[in-house]
């Protein structure tokens, strides 16, 4: 198994790279809106792949702009929906509460393989010079929060981490210039 450093230079994306990634996904094919939303949800809410796959319309309250995330190893958590996502969520809205938000061509739940493919393909189309995977969006979210001065305990809660030690990776990562972190997608 090769060390990550030989595969890609870092395990997170800069905000401008995430924008390029989401834009490239939107422009690629008939599922552009879904794919762009997938990337932006993962980035803004620090979602795991399984959380993206399991996200259903009953977990989203568009009126109150709240997103509830469920994961098998942690307690559920609620996030205010990032304002840039509301329009796209309303465009994809389904009236059935148990319907997954991110649907496949056959109107079923996405597979984790599809999520990985969408993110990897968007990275190639965006011209990002290294291999991109969905967990990088989660890391990018944690890094963005740390750069904004959010306390470790709050990052832990936001990302649904069981162990505070896992949050330290975001607080101690100074591998590059953070750039302009004030602008959201």
Residue-level pLDDT at 180: 32
Q: What is the pLDDT of residue 128?
A: 93
Report d(CA 2, CA 56) in Å as an integer.
36
DSSP for 49-71? HHHHHH-BGGGEETTTTEEEEEE
Q: Which of 129, 183, 118, 125 shows the shortest CA–CA distance to 10?
A: 129
Interatomic CA distance for residues 135 and 161, integer angstroms: 14
- Residue 96 confidence (pLDDT): 73
Are the C-beta atoms of residues 142 and 152 closer than 8 Å to each other?
A: no
* Entry pTM: 0.84
Residue 97: is it exposed, middle or buried by C-beta count within 10 angstroms (0-12/13-18/19+)?
exposed
- In terms of Cβ atoms closer than 10 Å to its own Cβ (0-12, 13-18, 19+), residue 7 is exposed
pLDDT block averages, 10 residues each, the chain of length 185? 59 94 92 96 94 93 90 77 88 80 92 96 94 94 92 89 73 43 30
């Amino acid at each position: 198994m090769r060390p990550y450093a030989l595969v890609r230079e870092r395990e997170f994306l800069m905000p401008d790279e995430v924008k390029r990634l989401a834009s490239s996904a939107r422009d690629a094919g008939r599922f552009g809106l879904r794919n762009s939303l997938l990337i932006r949800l993962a980035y803004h809410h620090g979602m795991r792949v399984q959380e993206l796959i399991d996200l259903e319309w009953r977990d989203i309250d568009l009126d109150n702009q709240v997103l509830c995330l469920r994961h098998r190893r942690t307690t559920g958590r609620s996030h205010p929906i990032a304002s840039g996502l509301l329009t796209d969520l309303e465009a994809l809205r389904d009236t059935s509460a148990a319907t997954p938000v991110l649907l496949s061509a056959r109107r079923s739940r996405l597979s984790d393989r599809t999520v990985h493919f969408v993110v990897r393909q968007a990275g190639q189309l965006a011209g990002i010079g290294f291999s991109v995977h969905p967990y990088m969006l989660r890391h990018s979210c944690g890094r963005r929060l740390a750069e904004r001065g959010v306390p470790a305990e709050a990052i832990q809660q936001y990302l649904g981490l069981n162990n505070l030690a896992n949050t330290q990776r975001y607080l101690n990562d100074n591998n590059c210039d953070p750039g302009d972190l004030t602008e959201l997608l």
